[in-house]
Amino acid sequence: MTDAIQKPEKKKSSLLQLDARTRTRNAAETRFKAYGMIAIAFGLLMLSILVFNIVTRGAGAYQQTFVALEVELLAGKLDKKGNRDLDDIKKVSTFGYTPLLSNALEAKVIELGIETDLKAKKMVGILSKSAAAQVRDYVLNNPNKIGETIGFEFLASSRVDGYLKGRVNRDSIGNDKNISPAQLDLVDALKAEGSLAKRFNMSFITGSDASDARPEAAGMGTSMIGSFFMMLVVLVLALPIGVAASIYLEEFAPKNWITDIIEVNISNLAAVPSIVFGILGLAVFINYMHLPNSAPLVGGLVLTLMTLPTIIISTRASLKAVPPSIRDAALGVGASKMQSVFHHVLPLAAPGILTGTIIGLAQALGETAPLLLIGMVGFIASNPPDSIATGLLSPNSAMPAQIYEWAKRADPAFYERAWGGIIILLVFLVTMNTIAVILRRRFERRW
């Protein structure tokens, strides 16, 4: 029993001084809090890196290098018979126009006194391959100008454009057949003189996609129209069907196993991978119903099925938010159940439904995977549709599919286009979401 006699050592503690255990506990507290801050900082850092990347890499697509040239439309080449007959002029292909361009460049070089040992044919290499077609289109529209000298602004080739933007330099073009250091010397000289310059490029926003050889001419316009028609289909189908389904489920459906199955189905459909909807579209709309491949109509149908659960879920939430007293009051003055829903509940839920629809549309606008399967990639969407029917049925691309298409092409000049396209896509999404937020703030009623 010796232990009992020993006096326990008196523990010195003070309220003012933290003991070791409290200190470790407080340190753990600080660490824990720091982990949370680090997590948030990491998320925000990634967001800012992403946005920074998009802006810095995509901004280039909105500027393009143009070359101003005076081209003499030689009558001897373009209209050999001299009778200004449009059919004869049409027989001259774009190849026939290339000499005009080389003459114009040569004249420019001589006028400016630039020393270069490039042949005239090689000089044309600094221009886009679409330059000859541009002159031809002009001549076909204005045949009376043949024989005159007209000032044109041509797109420079993508390599020259990349050189001005710093993507291409003299070291990197060692094995490049499309550009040579001598051509870059010419570019430098023209730039110093001012006839070759970068400026805002509207045709990136309004223009069509271009072939692999002409990244400088590719634009988003046509695919924007494709996206527009798809969204039209989604809006026309998904909004009424979604609202009808939600009204049934929220207001009329009896509580039984069929209703349960429908509800479980909707919440599961919301989580089905988008590519599965693409497989559905391919199997049902294209292989079975023989709707045209790559058509915005098919894309719209697939996206409708995808967006429906989103719209149904948000519509049901806003129907639920309308207080039962409104329904009771309507029923009390003699309205039928249907009348109380359509005359009173639905108008009060409309802002919420609209908000949900816009958010659903924004989601559908950015969706890519199902569009790959129904064939909205792998071709050059070059012709803007001329009517609603062709807009719905003729092959077209869509904004995200166009971006994917550019990302898949080998030429780095297309990457810049892809980032630029993303800027347009995000502008649309931000606008739609802002409208949704404003609608919600403005019209949301708290009961």
Partner 1 sequence: MSTTSLLVIAILILATLGYFLASKRAISTAGGDRRKLHSLPVYYGSNAAMFTAIPALGVLLIWLLAQPMLVERNILSTIPDKLIPEGSSIGLVMSDVRRVADGLEVVVNTGTLSQNETLKLDTEQTDIRALLAGVGAAVGSDVQPEVLEAAQNYRAQTKMGQLWMVLIIVPLALIGFALSVLAAKPTFRARNTVERGILALLVLAASLAILTTIGIVFSMLFESINFFKLHPWTDFFFGGSWAPNFRGDSDLSILPLLWGTIYISIIALIVAVPVGLFAAIYLSEYASPRVRAFAKPLLEILAGIPTIVYGLFALLTVGPALVRVFGRGEEGLLGLEWMSGATAVLTAGLVMGIMLIPFVSSLSDDIINAVPQSLRDGSLGLGATPSETIRQVVLPAALPGIVGAVLLAASRAIGETMIVVLGAGAIAKFSANPLEAMTTITTRIVSQLTGDTDFASPETLVAFALGLTLFVLTLGLNVIALYIVRKYREQYD
List the x/- string, 330-349, binding to partner 1 by CB under 8 A: ------xxx-----------
For partner 1, which is the closer residue by CB, 66 or 204? 204
- For the chain, the C-alpha Rg in angstroms (whole number) is 33
| Burial of 338 (C-beta count, 10 Å sphere; 0-12/13-18/19+) | exposed
* Residue type (1 letter), 209: D
Give the rounded distance of the alpha carbon of 50 from its chain centre: 15
Contact 163, 185 (CB under 8 A): no
Please identify which residue in 19, 149, 176, 248 interacts with partner 1, judged by CB under 8 A. 248
Contact call for residue 317 and partner 1 (CB under 8 A):
no
Chain position carrying tokens 């990634």: 46
Contact call for residue 268 and partner 1 (CB under 8 A):
yes
Question: What is the nearest approach in angstroms of partner 1 to the Cβ of residue 221?
Answer: 18
Choose the binding region for partner 1 from 87-95, 215-223, 343-351, 422-430 (rule: CB under 8 A). 422-430
Question: What is the nearest approach in angstroms of partner 1 to the Cβ of residue 385?
Answer: 17
For partner 1, which is the closer residue by CB, 206 or 267? 267
Please identify which residue in 75, 86, 140, 283 interacts with partner 1, judged by CB under 8 A. 283
Question: What is the nearest approach in angstroms of partner 1 to the Cβ of residue 320?
Answer: 16
Contact call for residue 425 and partner 1 (CB under 8 A):
yes
Sign of CA dihedral 327, 333, 337, 338: negative
- Alpha-carbon dihedral of residues 252, 254, 258, 262, nearest 10 degrees? 40
Question: What is the nearest approach in angstroms of partner 1 to the Cβ of residue 24?
Answer: 11
Please identify which residue in 13, 18, 23, 44 interacts with partner 1, judged by CB under 8 A. 44
Which residue from 94, 92, 122 is spatially nearest to 106, judged by alpha carbons?
A: 122
Please identify which residue in 18, 19, 28, 434 interacts with partner 1, judged by CB under 8 A. 28
Please identify which residue in 13, 19, 23, 42 interacts with partner 1, judged by CB under 8 A. 42
Please identify which residue in 103, 274, 382, 390 interacts with partner 1, judged by CB under 8 A. 274
Contact call for residue 255 and partner 1 (CB under 8 A):
no
Contact call for residue 29 and partner 1 (CB under 8 A):
yes
| Bridge partner residues of 409 (DSSP) | none
Distance of alpha carbon 166 from alpha carbon 188, whole angstroms: 13
Dihedral-angle region of residue 79 (phi above 0 means left; psi in -120 to 50 means alpha; beta otherwise): beta
Q: How far apart are the first and last CA of the chain?
A: 75
Strand order in the sheet with 149-155: 149-155, 63-72, 196-200
List the x/- string, 148-167, binding to partner 1 by CB under 8 A: --------------------
Distance of alpha carbon 303 from alpha carbon 315, whole angstroms: 18
Question: What is the nearest approach in angstroms of partner 1 to the Cβ of residue 277?
Answer: 8
Which residue from 58, 371, 330, 71 is spatially nearest to 223, judged by alpha carbons?
A: 371
Question: What is the nearest approach in angstroms of partner 1 to the Cβ of residue 210?
Answer: 19
User: Per CB under 8 A, which of residues 207..226 are in contact with partner 1?
Assistant: none
For partner 1, which is the closer residue by CB, 139 or 373? 373
Please identify which residue in 13, 23, 46, 212 interacts with partner 1, judged by CB under 8 A. 46
Half-sphere exposure of 251 (CA within 13 A, CB side): 27
Type and span of the H or E element at 301:
helix 296-321
Contact call for residue 323 and partner 1 (CB under 8 A):
no
Please identify which residue in 266, 303, 330, 424 interacts with partner 1, judged by CB under 8 A. 266
Which residue from 320, 331, 280 is spatially nearest to 301, judged by alpha carbons?
A: 280
For partner 1, which is the closer residue by CB, 241 or 326? 241
Choose the binding region for partner 1 from 129-137, 145-153, 199-207, 258-266 (rule: CB under 8 A). 258-266
Which residue from 308, 284, 311 is spatially nearest to 298, judged by alpha carbons?
A: 284
Question: What is the nearest approach in angstroms of partner 1 to the Cβ of residue 103?
Answer: 39
* Residue type (1 letter), 88: D
For partner 1, which is the closer residue by CB, 348 or 426? 426
Please identify which residue in 4, 37, 333, 410 interacts with partner 1, judged by CB under 8 A. 37
Type and span of the H or E element at 68:
strand 63-72
User: Per CB under 8 A, which of residues 49..88 are in contact with partner 1?
Assistant: 49-50, 53-54, 57
Q: Strand 149-155 to strand 196-200: parallel, antiparallel, or no bridges (unpaired)?
A: unpaired
List the x/- string, 365-404, binding to partner 1 by CB under 8 A: xxxxx--xx-x-xx---------------------x--xx
